[in-house]
Structure 1
Amino acid sequence: MPPWQSSSSPPNPGVLLTEATKAQIRWANPIGDRYMALLDGPGSAKRLTTDVAIPVARTEPALDLDTLLGGFRPLFRALDPEQVNTLSSALIQAFQGEGVTIGSFLRQASLVTNTLADRDELIGQVIGNLNAVLDTFGGRTDQFGKAVDSLSQLVAALEARKTDVTNAVAYTNAASATVADLLTQARQPFKEAVAQSDRVTSLVLADHEYFDDLLNTLPDAYKKLARLGSRGDFIPEYLCSLSLKVNGKGGQPVYVKIAEQTTGRCAPK
């Protein structure tokens, strides 16, 4: 059954299908959009019922654009895309009988070819420049031959090591997948680290005086530690007691005694 059966689309009160109606597939533009045109033909004006299709004898297929536009390809190659679209549309409309005549198309083509003729000096300059390029290229045939030989040697070397190249590509692909997986796994920890860094920054800013003093006194403290280890990889100091100060309830300091000796050199005097 043809695709333009009268019951295949919702009823349109403005379209009356009769026994003389013809269906024709037409091009809407040169890029391939098509539509179905309903035309009045000779015959009875009796209205078609919803269960009757337009017979194939009263249908026409779309124009063959390859055949229609193929003869104008030499002209189209010399035009810009907008001019090609304009001339193609005019030619299609003329052959579809949509008001544009062949004469109109020829007038547009004449205007375009006149424009091309006005540019003959520019075209001549392009041809002259191309000749100069070819002359320069012809004077360097030895260099070009060496370049071709070098390229041939490179291709031969790659061919001899195609297994290594294939393995390298495979390893690169595997490494890329591993890196992608690593980034996926590290995304959440990194996000948490960034959030905690904001928290640490807030704490440092709130107690910046303490951190300023710490940074100022650290160099002297490191110098003292360096003097303690001047005799070797040990500290020549005798430890009598060691206490750890921590914050207790209510912010009060609490001292935790870790080590203590009260005899010998540590005996009270």
Structure 2
Amino acid sequence: MNEAYSPASPRPGSTTSPSTMKMFMAFLAVFMVAQTIGTTLFCLYLHMKMDKMEEVLSLNEDYIFLRRIQKCQTAEGQKSTLLDCEKILKGFQDVQCKDKEPSKGQPKFEMQRGHDHPHLTHKNETSVAEERRQPVAAHLAGVTRNKAVSVLQWTTTMYGPAASNLISQREGKLQVKEAGLYYIYSQVTFCTKAATSAPFTLYIYLYLPLEESRLLLKGQNTHNTSNPHCDLQSIRVGGVFKLREGDMVFANVTDSLRVVYSHGSTYFGLFKL
């Protein structure tokens, strides 16, 4: 008996179950969220670490700076060629000068002076005091001239205060940059000969550009001598005057060729009271 032929039916293809797909998607989402949180936490930690490192480096620089200052205030540091002690101490003095008036109750910073060099400490304190209050004064010595001049010329001395930003010198004239009361003085030493009978006169003038200069001080010497060569005489004048900002004063004599310019003999100066 013949049976009817029937072709084999195809097998159904393999399919992924919905529950497996859901688990995979959930795992993937959790992994991405965890990775995002981990990356954020790592960046935050790195940022905090960098801030900490910057703070440590800043403190380390301050510590090194203080150590250098302490080193420069010792005899050993003064002899060292690796440290520019003058520049380091000047920088520290500038920092101190910026805080002249600390708030009440706030303690002032003081360095440990257990091993300070006494020479250097005294020098630093003196230089700071001079910077805080610069004296308004000038003391000048006479300059030799081979020809007669209408205004005596001057130069700075080794130990006397020189012209500064508060007092300037120009062509023998001293100019004040600050108004106030000033003591003006001068001494001139000159040579008296038997042949000269006219008095030798020293003048101190206030220079007025637009009018005739005003006489402030005057000194005379009428000494006569029988010495045919030279007898030395001196005239000294001084007084207090009220000067305005920009005023100029100068000294003059009747005969500048007779002035003696030996050390300490002829000078000119002023200082603010």
TM range (shorter): under 0.3
TM-score by length of 1: 0.14
Higher share of residues assigned strand: 2
The structure in which a higher percent of residues are helix is: 1
Q: With the length of structure 2 as denominator, give the TM-score of the two structures.
A: 0.14
RCO comparison, higher one (Cα < 8 Å, 6+): 2
